[in-house]
């Protein structure tokens, strides 16, 4: 099994991403693994529509400019410090 500990360069990349977008990307990969192109595109479109303009997406954009704003915690997960 692959662990983030095997590639320390991966964590800083994920650390500057919205936790919702990281979870959505993982979900898309799992659900679209065997999906046909039409279904995969439809699912991706729906996920993107939910993410665009969400608080955590705005925070990720602000953080890319060096503005420190906290993410809103995802249900069942620890909140970003």
Query: What's the average pLDDT block by block, 10 residues per block, for the chain (81 residues)?
Result: 52 69 87 90 92 91 90 62 45
Give the domain 18-73 fold. Lyase 2-enoyl-coa Hydratase; Chain  A, domain 2 (1.10.12)
* Helix spans in the chain (H): 10-15, 19-31, 37-51, 55-64
- SS3 of 49-72: the string is HHHCCCHHHHHHHHHHCCCCCCCC
Q: What is the pLDDT of residue 3?
A: 47
Q: What is the pLDDT of residue 10?
A: 53
Query: Whole-model pTM?
Result: 0.63
Q: What is the pLDDT of residue 2?
A: 45
Give the Cα separation of 43 and 75 in Å (integer).
Answer: 22
With beta carbons less than 8 A apart as the criterion, state whether 59 and 65 touch: no
Q: What is the pLDDT of residue 36?
A: 92
- The domain segmentation of the chain, as residue ranges, is 18-73
């Amino acid at each position: 099994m692959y662990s983030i500990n095997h590639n320390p360069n991966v964590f800083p990349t994920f650390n500057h991403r919205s936790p919702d977008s990281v979870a959505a990307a993982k979900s898309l990969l799992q659900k679209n693994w065997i999906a046909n192109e039409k279904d995969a595109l439809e699912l991706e479109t729906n996920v993107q529509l939910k993410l665009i303009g969400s608080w955590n997406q705005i925070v990720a954009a602000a953080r890319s400019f060096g503005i420190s704003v906290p993410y809103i915690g995802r249900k069942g997960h620890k909140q970003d410090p």
